[in-house]
Amino acid sequence: MKNIRLTGCFLGLAALMVSCSEMNEGFSPAQEQISINGTLEGFSALPSTRTQVGSMAGDGALLMEWSVGDQVGVFGDNTVNASFTGNHTAPAAQTTFSGNMTSGDVPKYAYYPYSEQAVNLQAIPVTIPTEQAYADVNSIAAYDVKATDVITDKGNGSYQLNMRQMVSLVRFEISLTGVDGLATDEKLQRVELKTGAPVTGSYTYDLTNLDNGFTGSSEAQSTSLNLTFVNQPSLSEKVIAYAVAAPGAQGGKTWECMFLTDKHQVSFTTTALCDFEAGKYYIMPLNTTVLENNQAVIEEAPDLVEEETANCYMINAVGEHSFLATVIGNGQKGIIPGAGFHTESAYISPKSAKLLWQDVEGFVDAPSVRLGADGRCYYTANQNVGNAVIAVYSGENQTGDILWSWHIWGVGDEMPSDEVYTNKVGSQFTVMDRTLGAHSKTSLYVTLYQWGRKDPFPNTSVYYVDGVATEVETSFPIYVSQTGTIAESVQHPAELQKYIDNTYGNWLGETNNYLWGDTNGTNPKYPDYLEDPTACAGWTDVKTIYDPSPVGYRVANKYTWTGFVKRSDGNTAGISGTTSRLDYINYVKYDNGYYFRKNDSDTEGTFYPQTGSRYGSTGTMWSAGQGSVLMRGGSSRYWSASPYDIGGTTDAYSAYMSIGSYTDVNGSTPWGAENKVNVCDFSSSRRDACAIRCVREE
């Protein structure tokens, strides 16, 4: 992506920002060192007119900068799609790119953004999404496309190129104060355009003939262009926003225009008086005059059923599925302002997608995973049981940064159902009937989670990466972080994260208790916490963008499980403690896990399998207290969403339910931990990966 800088409104018809870039290659017998000095072309405006779609009231330009991690592709006579990567550590107008070319070859063509699939210089692939999101001018960067067929030899191994813009922009200028029927306190949510010719979709272009622009089949293109406003600006202010469009013939064609606020829907039609040219932007004004001249219709906003989003999507059927890949987690409502999250916006602009891993071979067909022009990620499930993780990237062909990832959970033939628990003080919780990621209602195979992270990890002995089986019985990949940030965890969804300098066992360098939305720091009152009147349902905040639960669910409250034990001798920790009393546990039976009673009259129980856990420092499946590797059927830990304060130290701990190993003997046992159910434990480090049981959102 690129960072975009709006430098002023009156900079000239074709104002450019020069980016003098050098590309230096490492030397080898098959390579030689060259440098390329380049310029970046910005977006210019057309002379002003009074059209609805077309011109700028004055001259202006958007100027461009290179972003960190930017890559360009280079072709020569004997070099095919060489990747050159910028070495800059901050957005820059000038930078140095490094890459390799065949010895004796010279650069002839270059393009941005780099794509591994661009093996034919006469068919460089481009995708312009129909669904776009706008937060600020930097949002344009996600869809920027540049290329050059002019590279000048300056001598002494130095070359000069001039990158030209290949896309167009629609500039929305929205000023709606004083419009009858609209109030200034309304929030602008979305603009939808139905144009007269394709403006989004999948295209290719020819580096040897850039003047021909984009080409492609109409089946892969759309006349729709929709822009969602991330920050939902008020109508009391003038709003400037941009959307990216494919160049093409629009002059004389009818456009259907609609914009939505939180209270009204406004619709009208207009005529475009000019075609879209690459490197130009075109004004789409929305104001009183425009609405009056085009007989705009103002209606009450429809009761739209917005697509609910989450970090986990359940499926129970084979075939093609999709999810919205431009919204992270549960959307903007999942961001707590000022909570130190890695972003303040729930909207992203990915360019490609990939299957990272799955715990059942062939569950998801890896080649089927793709990012559509509509902003959705498509994939085909060959089976309906298993777990998989799909990630989206900032660059084409799985290049650049991982922007987000999602858990695909194949639940079998039927979707999970809900059960109602009654805890010790009579509060009720509506809880999913199985553990998150379970292969079935009673399966020991589930997914595990570091506290506060959205990313699942398998408790299986084998998982599959790129179709290859990888043994993970005793370890799972670890990302050793030097800084311990949330952003790092987002970029490494297929690895447990270990912050190397944290002695308390957190995967984060700076503690954040807001990650799963329960910021209630009130801890249980020992020894009477089972009857503590505060031990009730409810959270102080919201389900967050990092919550790993499916739509409609969230990570459990710390008091969800107090009904699973009976009042004993006042033991403050393990209820049955070191006495290992089965009669202190409120259960129906044991079978590789407890069937706990949901209420006093329950005769069937709800199954909590002995899932095992993964030690966050090594990825090892383990059981605390025995010092040995222990997989499924031995012990388990179930995270709550609640942080835990122990002696003023919140770096490492959070409340959870722990279940020790089982023996059919009451009383003392060799280990002293058998038959021990602690419904509000706190000793596990946040970097450890434990199981999750989801509850219905309130």
What digits encode the pLDDT tens for the residues 290-306? 888 889 899 988 765 56
Is pLDDT at 152 greater than 90 in this prediction?
A: no
| pLDDT tens per residue across span 178-200 | 888 899 899 998 999 999 899 98
Mean pLDDT of the chain: 81
DSSP state of 309: -
Q: Comparing 18-27, 375-384, 407-416, which segment has the lowest mean pLDDT? A: 18-27
Say if CB 37 and CB 22 are below 8 A apart: yes
d(CA 71, CA 192): 32
Place of tokens 């010092």: 627
Among 222-226, 459-463, 524-528, 680-684, which is the least confidently predicted range? 524-528
pLDDT of residue 629: 41
- What backbone phi and psi angles, to 5 degrees, belong to 508? -95, 145
| Distance from C-alpha of 81 to C-alpha of 121, rounded to nearest angstrom | 8
Q: Per-residue pLDDT for 634 more than 80?
A: no
Strands 468-471 and 124-128: unpaired
Measure the CA–CA gap between 468 and 448, rounded to whole angstroms. Answer: 21
Q: What is the dihedral of CA 524, 530, 533, 534, to 10 degrees?
A: 30
Q: What is the CA radius of gyration of the chain?
A: 29
| pLDDT of 616 higher than 90 | no
pLDDT of residue 26: 27
Residue 304, CB half-sphere, CA atoms under 13 Å: how many? 13
Query: Taking CA 494 as the corner, what is the angle to CA 491 and CA 495, rounded to the nearest 5 degrees?
Result: 90
Inform me whether the pLDDT recorded for 490 exceeds 90. yes
Sign of CA dihedral 360, 362, 363, 365: positive
Write down the residue that tokens 């546990």 correspond to: 585
The tokens for 118 are: 């661009």
What pLDDT, on a 0 to 100 scale, did the predictor assign at position 199?
92
The 3-state DSSP class for residue 677 equals: strand
pLDDT of 392 reads 96
What pLDDT shows up at residue 696? 94
What confidence score (pLDDT) does residue 1 get? Answer: 36
Most trustworthy range by pLDDT among 123-137, 477-491, 576-590:
477-491
DSSP sequence for 182-230: --TT-BEEEEEEE-SS--EEEEEE-TT-GGG-EE--GGGEESEEEEEET
Instruction: Return d(Cα 513, Cα 517) in angstroms, integer.
Output: 8
Within 10 angstroms of residue 297's Cβ, the number of other Cβ atoms is 12
Give the lowest-confidence range in 151-160, 462-471, 483-492, 686-695. Answer: 151-160
How much of the chain, in percent, has pLDDT values that exceed 70? 80
pLDDT surpasses 60 at 648:
no
- Residue by residue, DSSP assigns 37-99 as EEEE--EEEPPP-S-SBS--SS--EEEEEEPTT-EEEEEESS--SEEEEE--SS-BSSEEEE-
Q: What is the pLDDT of residue 12?
A: 21
Q: Which of 414, 464, 426, 417 is nearest to 606 (CA)?
A: 417
Task: Give 617: exposed, middle or buried? Use CB within 10 Å, 0-12, 13-18, 19+.
Answer: middle
Task: Specify which residues 612 forms β-bridges with.
Answer: none
* Rounded Cα–Cα distance for residues 134 and 143 (Å): 12
* Cβ atoms of residues 437 and 412 within 8 Å: no
Residue 410 has pLDDT above 80, yes or no: yes
- Res 51 pLDDT > 60: no
Residue 42 confidence (pLDDT): 60
Q: What is the dihedral of CA 490, 491, 496, 502, to 10 degrees?
A: -80
Q: pLDDT band at residue 406, thresholds of 50, 70 and 90?
A: very high
Residues 562/423, Cβ–Cβ less than 8 Å:
yes
Which tens digits make up the pLDDT trace of 658-677? 888 888 877 555 455 678 88
| Residue pointed to by tokens 């959870």 | 656
Q: For residue 129, what are its two tokens?
A: 């999404």
Place of tokens 């339910």: 657
Q: How confident is the model at residue 458 (pLDDT cuts 50, 70, 90)?
A: very high
Can you give the pLDDT at residue 21? 26
Torsion of CA 74, 76, 78, 83, to 10 degrees: -10
Residue 270 three-state SS: strand
- Residue position matching structure tokens 């492609």: 216
Q: How many residues does the chain have?
A: 698
pLDDT score of 557 more than 50: yes
Residue-level pLDDT at 18: 22
pLDDT band at 161 (very low <50, low <70, confident <90, very high): confident
Task: List, as one string, the DSSP characters of 470-494.
Answer: EE-SS---EEEESS--HHHHHH-TT
pLDDT at 522 over 80: no
pLDDT in tens, 227-286: 988 778 999 999 999 999 999 999 889 999 999 998 999 999 998 878 999 988 888 888
Q: What is the mean pLDDT of residues 35-47?
A: 53
| Angle (nearest 5°) at CA 264 between 258 and 270 | 25
Three-class SS of residue 613? Answer: strand
Lowest mean pLDDT among 111-120, 358-367, 593-602: 111-120
At 74, list the tokens: 């280079």
**Is a pLDDT exceeding 80 seen at residue 70?**
no
Structure confidence at residue 140 (pLDDT): 78
pLDDT of residue 539: 65
Residue 698 carries which DSSP code? -
| pLDDT of res. 362 | 94
